[in-house]
């Protein structure tokens, strides 16, 4: 029976526009908070997993190289493919002990410091250049600005362990790729973003090899047009993953909302809600991963 005229129940047609706007703002704020948490802790976990995999692969390569050439004197090595481990970078002053991966794309830098393709390999003649995140993805280069002349940097590759000493640090623009140019003396160049939480400029630390260099591996042609972290990823696949996960998430939210309105607060409806929350969080992680790759890579 309809409510009598004047009964307050007759004007109840669901949440007001203001209430819906408030809920929308709360949801948006929650998503922002979750994305910040993902940037700080989610990417750190992915970095940890990537380091575990890289270290395991590098240890296997070292064992195989020792079996093939126990002495290792004058050992030559092949130039690594993108995604392969290059060596272990240790900087005692700032607590760095990281496996360096070949490549400076978003995927490689999410796993650890990345070696710029086309530059010399660590321990060899020329300029070996490595980039690393400063604030997210494990922040391996967070303390790079604390290094000063004389600080020790070592790199262990399949050719042995090589010690460098820092000579200077300076700041350049993201498009100043001259810091990657070949050098006549064996040098290690470390780059990261500066100031922290920004991709505006690059902090560069140079270090010189203290001993004789290893046998040289010919490097492929360098194609880097800017220092790592300057540009967002431009992959159609990444955009499709982001769009697909957002659409799927919206479909889950709308579908569950309609189902609950039809069934009420039944046990089945509550179970459906729990399942939707799990699926929604997984979709949100996928969306966050794609969004992280598309944002400017503030190392």
Average pLDDT over residues 29-50: 85
Percent of the chain with pLDDT over 70: 86
How many other CB atoms are found less than 10 A from the CB of residue 98? 22
pLDDT of 222-256, one tens digit each?
A: 877 778 754 444 567 878 888 888 888 888 777 77
Q: Are residues 205 and 240 in the same domain?
A: no
Two tokens, residue 69: 């050439």
What is the C-alpha to C-alpha distance for residues 251 and 270, in angstroms, rounded to an integer? Answer: 18
Q: How would you classify the pairing of strands 160-172 and 127-131?
A: unpaired
Q: Is 13 or 273 the better-scoring residue by pLDDT?
A: 273
| Containing structural domain, residue 205 | 47-209
Whether 96 contacts 147, CB under 8 Å: no
57 and 150 share one domain? yes
CA distance 58 to 51: 10
Say yes or no: 180 and 285 in one domain.
no
Do 51 and 147 have their domain in common? yes
Residue 38 lies inside a defined structural domain of this protein: no
Q: What is the pTM of this model?
A: 0.80
Statement to judge: residues 52 and 146 lie in one domain: yes
Count of beta carbons in the 10 Å neighbourhood of residue 10: 11
Indicate the number of domains in the chain.
2
Q: Looking at the domain assignment, is residue 62 inside a domain? A: yes
pLDDT at 11 over 50: no
The CA-atom distances, in angstroms, between 80 and each of 42, 71, 94, 121, 131 are 28, 22, 27, 9, 16
pLDDT the model gives residue 230: 45
b/e for 134-165, b at 16 or more Cβ within 10 A?
bbbbbbbbbebbebeeebebbbbbbbeebebe
Q: What CATH number did the domain enclosing 72 receive?
A: 2.40.260.10
Q: Which of 92-96, 189-193, 294-298 has the lowest mean pLDDT?
A: 294-298
| SS3 label, residue 241 | helix
Residues 138, 246, single domain; the answer is: no
Domain membership of residue 11 (yes or no) is no
Whether residue 60 is found in the same domain as residue 180 = yes
Q: How far apart are CA 268 and CA 260, in angstroms?
A: 9
- Tokens 């650890």 appear where? 112
Q: Is beta strand 114-115 parallel, antiparallel or unpaired with respect to 96-102? A: parallel
Among 209, 244, 279, the domain boundary falls at 209
22 token code pair: 């408030």
């Amino acid at each position: 029976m309809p409510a009598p005229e004047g009964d307050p129940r007759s004007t109840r047609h669901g949440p007001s526009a203001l209430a819906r706007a408030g809920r929308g703002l709360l949801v948006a704020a929650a998503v922002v908070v979750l994305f910040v948490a993902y940037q700080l802790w989610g990417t750190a976990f992915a970095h940890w997993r990537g380091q575990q995999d890289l270290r395991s692969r590098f240890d296997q390569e070292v064992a195989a190289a020792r079996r093939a050439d126990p002495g290792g004197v004058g050992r030559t090595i092949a130039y690594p493919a993108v995604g392969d481990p290059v060596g272990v970078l240790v900087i005692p002053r700032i607590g760095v002990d990281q496996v360096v991966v070949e490549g400076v794309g978003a995927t490689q830098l999410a796993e650890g410091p990345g070696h710029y393709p086309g530059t010399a390999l660590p321990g060899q003649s020329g300029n070996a250049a490595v980039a690393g995140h400063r604030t997210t993805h494990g922040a391996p280069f967070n303390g790079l600005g604390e290094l000063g002349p004389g600080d020790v940097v070592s790199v262990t590759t399949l050719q042995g362990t090589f010690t460098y000493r820092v000579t200077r640090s300076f700041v350049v623009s993201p498009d100043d790729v001259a810091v990657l140019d070949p050098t006549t003396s064996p040098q290690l160049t470390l780059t990261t973003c500066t100031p922290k939480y920004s991709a505006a400029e690059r902090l560069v630390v140079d270090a010189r090899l203290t001993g004789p260099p290893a046998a040289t591996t010919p490097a492929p042609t360098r194609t880097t047009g800017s220092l790592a972290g300057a540009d967002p990823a431009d992959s159609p696949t990444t955009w499709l993953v982001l769009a697909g996960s957002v659409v799927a998430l919206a479909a889950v939210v709308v579908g569950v909302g309609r189902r609950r309105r039809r069934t009420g607060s039944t046990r089945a409806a509550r179970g459906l809600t729990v399942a939707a929350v799990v699926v929604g969080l997984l979709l949100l992680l996928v969306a966050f991963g794609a969004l992280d790759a598309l944002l400017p890579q503030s190392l």
